């Protein structure tokens, strides 16, 4: 099992086992109360001892349940002593307490030591009954054998529960890991590796279901000449910086894309054309006033932006074509400007 799957199994199985152990502790406390009530209503020679032992058993297990303590060997020893005491005193229903104790201890030790746990509890149960019995009557033997068989069946059942839950948790861990990997692959396939913005594929998917938005197509002016003059590494630095300016300058609901090459697309949902133009002008100003240097020499970088409005009556492709036409006009008019499609 992978580390992730083991983490899921440990946390998931631990939570489920703790819940079952808490439930059996509470049921044990309730069962001990019945034993105490039976001793009071039908007092025998050792009724006072039964009441004291039942009360101690109830309080001890309810405190453990309230604290949500994990079962320990000390708890096993204390409960076995109390159960044996109840058996020796002739308490009714004391055999139920052994069964409940066995369930939660098997959940503690797991399938590898389940039968050893069942054997230990069975031996204490049988020994206490033999000491209490006046004679080895047939009814006594049948009852003892019946309960020992019950211990074995409970152990097998608890082990089966363990196996089923562990397998289920492994599957859940594998599914969670697959989902994580799919999400990672999806993010990688829809993210531009250089700028960290969404890419062209993401643009096609994410704009398909948006009914209304303002679209900005942003182009870095004279980018080819920039690469030729200063090299592609400097060009990559420019792309990264412009991408960061766009990321910082948009709202949480806006979507920013590196559409391709030196071209970016910015989708502004629920935005008026006037506000979209203001955002475009702000981005143009920020890039134009950002200081770029190559080998210590300042390099002026500007951008041109085409703006269009997408509404329910306009297809996504048409909105992009309009913004692209506006961008073409911005370049034709001298670049470093924003133009709205009209």
168-198: pLDDT as tens digits: 777 878 888 888 888 888 888 899 999 999 9
CA distance 326 to 342: 8
Domain ranges of the chain: 3-177, 200-340
- pLDDT for residue 185: 84
- pLDDT for residue 23: 84
pTM for the whole structure: 0.56
70-74, 154-158, 308-312 — most confident range = 308-312
- pLDDT for residue 6: 41
Instruction: Give residue 263's pLDDT band: very low, low, confident or very high (50, 70, 90).
Output: very high
CA distance 329 to 333: 6
- pLDDT for residue 64: 83
200-340 falls under which CATH superfamily? Reverse transcriptase/Diguanylate cyclase domain (3.30.70.270)
Strands annotated E in 89-196: none
- pLDDT for residue 80: 92
Mean pLDDT of 21-27: 83
CA atoms within 13 A on the CB side of 25: 23
Supply φ then ψ for residue 89, to 5 degrees: -80, -5
- pLDDT for residue 130: 87
Active site residue 262: yes
28-32, 182-186, 324-328 — most confident range = 324-328
- pLDDT for residue 16: 67
Mean pLDDT of 4-12: 40
- Give yes or no for a contact between 102 and 114, defined as CB atoms under 8 angstroms apart: no
Buried b (16+ CB within 10 A) or exposed e, 163-175: eebbeebbeebee
- Give yes or no for a contact between 195 and 243, defined as CB atoms under 8 angstroms apart: yes
- pLDDT for residue 9: 40
136: left (phi over 0), alpha (psi -120 to 50) or beta: beta
Mean pLDDT of 14-42: 83
**204 against 73, higher pLDDT:** 204
- Give yes or no for a contact between 307 and 238, defined as CB atoms under 8 angstroms apart: no
100: left (phi over 0), alpha (psi -120 to 50) or beta: alpha
- pLDDT for residue 13: 43
Q: Out of 262, 263, 291, 322, which one is annotated catalytic?
A: 262
Tell me the average pLDDT of the chain.
86
Q: Let me know the angle formed at the C-alpha of 143 by 142 and 145, rounded to the nearest 5 degrees.
A: 65
- Give yes or no for a contact between 47 and 39, defined as CB atoms under 8 angstroms apart: yes
């Amino acid at each position: 099992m992978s580390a992730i799957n083991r983490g899921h199994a440990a946390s998931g199985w631990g939570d489920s086992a703790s819940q079952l152990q808490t439930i059996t502790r509470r049921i044990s406390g309730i069962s001990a109360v019945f034993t105490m009530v039976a001793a009071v209503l039908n007092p025998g020679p050792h009724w006072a001892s039964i009441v004291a032992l039942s009360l101690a058993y109830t309080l001890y297990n309810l405190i453990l349940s309230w604290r949500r303590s994990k079962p320990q060997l000390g708890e096993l020893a204390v409960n076995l002593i109390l159960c044996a005491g109840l058996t020796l005193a002739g308490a009714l229903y004391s055999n139920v307490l052994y069964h409940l104790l066995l369930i939660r201890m098997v959940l503690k030790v797991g399938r590898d030591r389940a039968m050893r746990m069942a054997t230990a509890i069975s031996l204490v149960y049988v020994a206490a009954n033999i000491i209490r019995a006046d004679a080895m009557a047939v009814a006594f033997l049948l009852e003892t054998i019946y309960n020992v068989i019950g211990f074995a069946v409970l152990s097998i059942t608890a082990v089966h529960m363990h196996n089923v839950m562990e397998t289920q948790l492994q599957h859940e861990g594998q599914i969670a890991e697959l989902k994580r990997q799919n999400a990672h692959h999806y993010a990688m396939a829809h993210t531009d590796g250089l700028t960290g913005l969404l890419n062209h594929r993401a643009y096609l998917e994410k704009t398909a279901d948006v009914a209304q938005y303002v679209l900005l197509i942003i182009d870095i002016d004279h980018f080819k000449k920039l690469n030729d003059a200063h090299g592609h590494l400097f060009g990559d630095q420019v792309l990264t910086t412009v991408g960061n300016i766009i990321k910082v300058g948009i709202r949480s609901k806006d979507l920013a894309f590196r559409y391709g090459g030196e071209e970016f697309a910015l989708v502004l949902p629920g935005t008026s054309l006037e506000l979209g133009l203001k955002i475009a002008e702000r981005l143009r100003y920020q890039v134009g006033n950002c200081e770029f240097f190559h080998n210590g020499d300042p390099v002026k970088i500007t951008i041109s932006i085409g703006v269009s409005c997408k509404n329910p009556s306009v297809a996504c492709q048409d909105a992009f074509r309009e913004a692209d036409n506006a961008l073409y006009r911005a370049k034709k008019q001298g670049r470093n400007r924003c133009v709205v499609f009209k």
